Amino acid sequence: MSYPLFEIASQFSINGTVENIEPFGNGHINDTFKISIKETGLSDYILQRKNHYVFKDIAGMMENIIRVTDHIRKKLESQGVGETDKKVITHIQTKTGEYFLKDVEGNYWAVFLFVEGSQSVEKIENPEHAFLAGKGFGHFQQQLADLPGKPLNETIVDFHNIEFRYRNFRKALEVNFQNRISLTQKEIDFVLEHEEEMHTLIRAHRNNEIPSRITHNDTKINNILFDKDGQILCVIDLDTVMPGLVHFDFGDAIRTAACTTEEDETDLDKITLDLEIYKSFARGFLDETKSFLTEKEIELLPHSAKFMTFIMGLRFLTDYLDGDVYYKIKHADHNIERARAQFRLVSEISKKENEMKTVIREIV
Ligand code: ADP
Ligand code: GN1
Ligand code: MG
């Protein structure tokens, strides 16, 4: 798909002359571009086409993002933290004062500052980085714990609701695109075998054993920016920030940070959970959050890694059976390869559950 990118960018209050606009990053959902500015000394920008198949209420989503980023920015300023543009995403308005633009084709666009000197990673290289990433995501949650005002909008309803995901899975079995069931019976059986166990979190929440908080809900490791020295700059991809369980953030980060491979590894024997990375991430995360998490929330953290890995596998498998309508894919089998990798990681986590529980007990 080609878009009139310069024309779109020209409708935002960008500082400087736009020199170039090129695809950027590795997300599965939005279309992301980097806007390079000609004059040295001026900041570059990110231009993003928000996926309105995935996000049905773009205005509600942008309202959340602005509330959240304003809140964090005010906090940083009151704490005397410098270079706030690197510590929180800064959105740019259109020339008519809106935070997003709807173009004539019905596409939605947002612009925010490119964080200079930043990089995102697909894999965590060592325990020190894992510790910092844990602190980064934990700190984000801590920063939002006192967000005033009404609850945030639910940008994807039932996003991590396992009952909803099983319902979609069963509908996809009926779709059975290109008779893909015949290719995925093993994965389908895996999903059915785990149904009871994967309701642990939703049950605990319904029984009022664990509270809802403001969570990021997409804490994949490439959604946090590091600087060149490996220090954390800020959390990005704020489209899914909304009410959720702390387990969604801890679990999804472990799924990607502590896995020994990327999420679409096809050599399944390479996939396992690195306990040292898990431990370091958990130390960082709990450093920032243990003062407000309840005992029950902490007790269920190890399970959350298995849960989030499983639910991602279930979503990739469902998308494969649906005919690849949700995630961006790079080749025909991409979704099923991702699902297989996730399910292998679930099995590996099962073998290490006791050690994972011990790690958390030792930290707190
Ligand atoms: P998606 O929802 O598609 O994952 P993201 O918002 O995560 O989109 O952006 C995709 C990628 O673009 C990120 O993983 C990151 O590498 C890069 N990126 C996004 N925002 C910024 C930013 N403000 N500064 C630098 N890089 C960014
Ligand atoms: C998507 O947007 P991105 O690439 O950071 C997805 C997440 C999945 C992830 C799997 C809104 O994240 O839920 O965990 O892919 N985001 C949405 O890689 O569905
Ligand atoms: Mg992303």
Domain boundaries, the chain: 5-113, 127-363
Nearest CA to ligand 2 atom 12: 28
Of all ligands present, the nearest one to the C-alpha of 122 is 1
What average pLDDT score do residues 20-44 get?
Answer: 96
The dihedral through the CA atoms of 162, 168, 174, 175 has a sign that is: negative
- What pLDDT band is residue 29 in, cutting at 50, 70 and 90? very high
CA count, 13 A, side-chain hemisphere, 281:
31
Number of Cβ within 10 Å of residue 75's Cβ equals 17
Query: Is the CB of residue 48 less than 8 Å from the CB of residue 32?
Result: yes
Which atom of ligand 2 approaches the CA of 308 most closely?
14
Residue nearest to atom 5 of ligand 1 (CA): 237
What's the rounded Cα separation, in Å, for the pair 72 and 56?
Answer: 25
Pairing verdict, β 108-113 and 101-102 = antiparallel
Beta bridge partners of 22: 34
Question: Residues 139-195: pLDDT tens digits?
Answer: 999 999 999 999 999 999 999 999 999 999 999 999 999 999 999 999 999 999 999
Q: How far is the CA of 28 from the centre of ligand 2 (A)?
A: 6
Residue 1 has a pLDDT of: 72
Give the architecture-level CATH label for domain 127-363. Answer: Alpha-Beta Complex (3.90)
pLDDT digits (tens, 9 = 90+) for 117-131: 999 999 998 999 999
Most distant CA pair in the chain, distance: 59
Counting ligands in written order, the one closest to the CA of 244 is 2
Instruction: Quote the ipTM score.
Output: 0.98
Whole-number Å distance, alpha carbon 32 to ligand 1 midpoint, is 7
Q: Which ligand is nearest to the CA of 252?
A: 2
Which atom of ligand 2 has the smallest separation from the CA of 55?
Answer: 11
**Is pLDDT above 90 for 323?**
yes
Closest of 3, 35, 288, 339 to residue 169, by C-alpha = 339
Beta strands in 213-349 (DSSP E): 213-215, 224-227, 232-235, 242-244
CA of 208 relative to ligand 3 center, distance in Å: 31
Q: Are 191 and 314 in contact (CB under 8 A)?
A: yes
Q: Confirm if 321 and 185 have CB atoms less than 8 A apart.
A: no
Using the predicted structure, report yes or no on whether residue 74 has a pLDDT greater than 90.
Answer: yes
Which residue, chain included where needed, has tokens 């980085």?
A: 129
113 Cα: distance to centroid of ligand 1 (angstroms): 11
| CB atoms closer than 10 angstroms to residue 269 | 8
Q: At what angle do helices 275-289 and 127-144 cross, to 10 degrees?
A: 30
Helix (H) or strand (E) holding 255: helix 246-257
Q: Give the pLDDT confidence of 197-249 residue by residue, as tens digits.
A: 999 999 999 999 999 999 999 999 999 999 999 999 999 999 999 999 999 99
The interaxial angle of helices 185-193 and 334-351, nearest 10 deg, is: 40
SS3 34: strand
Q: Does domain 5-113 have CATH number 3.40.1260.10?
A: no
Q: How confident is the model at residue 26 (pLDDT cuts 50, 70, 90)?
A: confident
Q: CB of 338 closer than 6 A to ligand 2?
A: no
pTM over 0.95: yes
What is the arithmetic mean of pLDDT over 296-302?
A: 98
Query: What is the predicted pLDDT for the residue at 57?
Result: 97
Between CA 348 and CA 212 the distance in angstroms is 29
* Inter-residue contact 8 to 47 (CB < 8 Å): yes
| Region for 243 from its dihedrals, namely left if φ exceeds 0, alpha if ψ lies in -120 to 50, beta otherwise | beta
pLDDT band, residue 46 (cuts 50/70/90): very high
What's the mean per-residue pLDDT of the chain?
Answer: 97
151 secondary structure, DSSP code: P
